[in-house]
Chain A
């Protein structure tokens, strides 16, 4: 009787046998998974709340636009310079890699290149920091440029994969159309395919910048000995920058410094949040445009 597989067909359709127990297990699994998802949201919310509540009272115009000790203007300017130089290095290479993946590589080339980009994306930033330190700083001097090179390596796989995703959305019909007109492929790439995908490429780049702007480890090695009073845009000297300054202030044990660190953290987090959300909205828009 107990190993009867099919119950009496005339019995009511309520759970029978071990179905009740299996339903309980299933319910527990669902609850645990949901709880984990909620925990992730909670972590983000708590971080943003903590940073915002402690940082907001420090931020005013002086804080943003003057130098040490009243403000952190030089650090903000330095971070902008370092990020811009990094992007100038990473964007052309990243877009070329994406073009290689979508226009030229065979299936095997695509697989290999994707794997390499994923590995590059997984490199610890401190390793990149030591790498640029050995290559560009050791026996020379610290420079924002060395930091930019490290950040460029962080941005590269993000730009390449993001651009590839958008280039794949460029309709096949456009490529066929330009092929059928007897125009060489690279000219189609320059004048049809890239302009069509431009919105998405810009978005991928913004996301990569948002990711790289807060990287601290490489900058501690490449651009940490600086004058916090001096506004400078020269990438060939060590430039004051936000992540390293946050790190220094938190090391010092000075309550004033803690407040400043919270203020800068809030500026950095807001930039990253707004850049990411804005870029994603733009990406969704250009994807809609391409697929319609």
Chain B
């Protein structure tokens, strides 16, 4: 719907492309329940197309799971929701991603402000080499939220179901925690600045089943407070935690396979009565 304008050009304020990109706001009235509304999103890394024509709405306060085989573009899509791809050389996006009705790739949009509101937790736990307390307090401090810092840190650690395990050793290095604890610390770090959305990129793939269970329980408790989008290659995990599930797959687009959104719907329906045969093959374990 918008022209192929390199994202580098679009980020610049006052660029004429920005108005083109922002136009759909008026053309399509925003559904009040939608936090993200992706329309015709195609993503390229240099000449290579990673994702083609994705139309997907993310609903407020719900957990949406993105599932699909490796290389199907689900992580690429997730990272485009808080503009983490901008720093990837050759990255270029077409189509439109609306966030609460605002064009996410609009000309006057600041990446830092985007990420302030849309937090992200990565596949591999990546705590800072600092104390547990300083990991959680780092972002609030740097964003000027110094008042009531101790309470904020405690709230975030409680929110991430980690408080009871670490309350007596807040000054210890975060690197001494187990992998599962480190990942919950990263979630605490993300929710300490009270974002609107949490993006989770395979948050449990590096963890053992018990730590995975803890993360899934945590997601249930965070539901409602935050809108959560989670990428997972584990279908059972999607079935356990997600309200809605979107299935991505690789389809032949011209000569090369390109990531495509096949089907999206209520999680139960996607797993019980998938409408698309490709979804059915995947969720029943026939491929992937």
Binding site for B on A (CB under 8 A): 171, 173-174, 176-184, 187, 191-192, 195-196
Contact = CB atoms under 8 A, between A and B. Distances in A.
B122 A173 contact: yes
Range class of the B interface residue count: 20 to 34
B119 A176 contact: no
Interface string B114-158: 111101111010111110000000110011000000000000000
Contact of A177 (B114, B122, B143): B122
B138 A192 contact: yes
A205 B9 CA distance: 40
A171 B124 CA distance: 11
B143 A176 contact: no
A125 to B, nearest CB: 38
A187 B119 contact: no
23 contacts: A173-B122, A173-B124, A174-B126, A174-B129, A176-B120, A176-B122, A177-B127, A177-B186, A177-B189, A179-B84, A179-B87, A179-B115, A180-B84, A181-B139, A181-B142, A181-B190, A182-B113, A182-B115, A182-B139, A182-B195, A183-B138, A183-B143, A191-B138
B122 A183 contact: no
Given A173-B126, A181-B119, 7 more contacts: A178-B138, A178-B139, A181-B116, A182-B195, A184-B142, A196-B128, A196-B129
B236 to A, nearest CB: 27
A168 to B, nearest CB: 16
A183 B190 CA distance: 12
Which of A183, A184, A191 has the most CB atoms of chain B within a 10 A radius of its CB? A183
Given A182-B113, A182-B117, A187 B142 contact: yes
A201 to B, nearest CB: 15
Nearest to B126: A173
B99 to A, nearest CB: 14
Which of B113, B117, B122 has the most CB atoms of chain A within a 10 A radius of its CB? B122
Which of B113, B116, B142 has the most CB atoms of chain A within a 10 A radius of its CB? B142
Contact of A180 (B120, B130, B138): B120
A187 B193 CA distance: 16
B84 A176 contact: yes
A171 B126 CA distance: 9
A103 to B, nearest CB: 11
A191 B116 CA distance: 17
State the main secondary structure of chain A at its contact with B: helix
B277 to A, nearest CB: 37
Contacts of A182: 112-117, 119, 139, 143, 193, 195
A181 B128 CA distance: 12
Nearest to A190: B142
Given A173-B126, A192-B128, A180 B112 contact: no
A290 to B, nearest CB: 9
A195 B82 CA distance: 27
Which of B114, B119, B126 has the most CB atoms of chain A within a 10 A radius of its CB? B126
B218 to A, nearest CB: 18
Contact of A181 (B113, B129, B130, B138): B138
Contacts of A173: 122, 124, 126
B161 to A, nearest CB: 20
Interface string B177-213: 0000000001001100101000000000000000000
A180 B115 contact: yes
Shortest beta-carbon contacts, A-B, top 8: A182-B116, A173-B126, A180-B120, A182-B115, A181-B139, A183-B142, A177-B126, A187-B142
Which of A176, A180, A183, A184 has the most CB atoms of chain B within a 10 A radius of its CB? A180
B177 to A, nearest CB: 15
Interface string B63-89: 000000000000000000010100100
A173 B201 CA distance: 13
Contacts of B124: 173
Contacts of A179: 84, 87, 115
Nearest to B140: A181
B241 to A, nearest CB: 21
A8 to B, nearest CB: 51
B109 to A, nearest CB: 13
Nearest to B114: A182
A166 to B, nearest CB: 14
Given A182-B112, A182-B113, A177 B128 contact: yes
Nearest to A182: B116
Contacts of A192: 128, 130, 138
B131 to A, nearest CB: 12
